[in-house]
Amino acid sequence: MNHYFKLRITSVIIALLLSGQAFSLTVYDVIQLSKKEYTDNEIIALIEITHSAFELKAEDLPRLMDLGVSEKIIQTMLKTTSKHTDNRSFSNAVVSSSKASAPMTRYTSVNSASLVIAGGQFEAKLFEESGTRHHHQHQMIILAGVTLFVLRDKGTFSSIKNRADAVVTQLGQAVLAGQGTFQPETLEGKHVVMFYGQKTQQSRVVLNVSSTDAYAYQRRSDRNVTPVLLAAYWSALLSDYWSITMNDVSPDQLINLDEGEVLTALYEQWKESNNMSSARLDDATQLLSRQRQQNLLHLATTVPRDFVLGKMHSMVEEP
């Protein structure tokens, strides 16, 4: 094994450890590595080094190949024997509750900084926006590897990063309340996104929506975007992701949009993988087509032209 090859393998192992995954590859890990253009030999070496085991059936093989896993890697996976019972099967990722010893806990209520939801965490990361001439410190709000929306204004904070960190904290606190929904409201003349917990009946301001936020989205959406509209859109988008990851029901806020059907597709893929101990929401997105992955990113970075305020929103668009 040459030096470069060792470095590549080491980097993947470190990434797995940092992501909090069990130190053993799942079928979904193999799919992601194949999509990220790791070589067959590198992936096979990882399978062997981590002593990973898989339970594959004949009907799984064509779909794995369609998802970019080579025949050489599949043959290696077939040679492994499962020494564990932690749902590594591709086709049996969903285990009926009657056979499972206990349902998987989607999050751990420790504190908002260490919560695990959908196999990952809420995070704020730098967003390098294509098509812009200048470097901007835009921040994307992420859940388990999936971009939810982008902050392009610092608001009342000293930086966009500080504002994004505050939003992550508020979303973490919302997780502690469990199932719920998001709604746009007006508080003291400011447009905000509120979270309402179903069990606790508690409400929480997640973030304020500024005119600069709206203008930044308007520039990228090719439509008129006001703070009212953006607050309603972010509320609907967060509600749909909450439905998928917390409420355990199909999303219903944006699914009638041209691009909104991708959220239903994401929910179906997440249902297949959510019993995997190391599954992340991002795993489900990797099983979507490239076009649908682009649709998810578009939902996060723009306000679709066919999104309009409806009866579900508590605010009325200003004239």
pLDDT digits (tens, 9 = 90+) for 84-127: 434 344 443 322 222 232 233 233 333 444 567 888 889 999 98
pLDDT of 316 over the 80 cut:
no
User: Which pLDDT score, from 0 to 100, does residue 95 have?
Assistant: 26
Identify the weakest region by mean pLDDT among 96-100, 224-228, 256-260, 288-292. 96-100
Is the Cβ–Cβ distance between 90 and 77 less than 8 Å? no
Identify the weakest region by mean pLDDT among 14-28, 154-168, 170-184. 14-28
User: Which pLDDT score, from 0 to 100, does residue 91 have?
Assistant: 40
Identify the weakest region by mean pLDDT among 66-75, 243-252, 256-265. 66-75
Residue 11 binned pLDDT confidence (cut-offs 50, 70, 90): low
165 vs 136, more confident: 165
Highest mean pLDDT pick, 5-19, 24-38, 82-96, 102-116: 24-38
62 vs 157, more confident: 157
pLDDT of 189 over the 70 cut:
yes
Mean residue pLDDT of the chain comes to 77
User: Which pLDDT score, from 0 to 100, does residue 8 have?
Assistant: 53
**CA 149 – CA 309 distance, rounded (Å):** 18
**CA 129 – CA 139 distance, rounded (Å):** 10
Residue 208 binned pLDDT confidence (cut-offs 50, 70, 90): very high
108 vs 156, more confident: 156
Residue 203 binned pLDDT confidence (cut-offs 50, 70, 90): confident
User: Which pLDDT score, from 0 to 100, does residue 175 have?
Assistant: 84
pLDDT in tens, 161-173: 999 988 998 898 8
Percent with pLDDT over 70 in the chain: 73
What is the maximum span of the chain, computed from C-alpha positions, in angstroms? 67
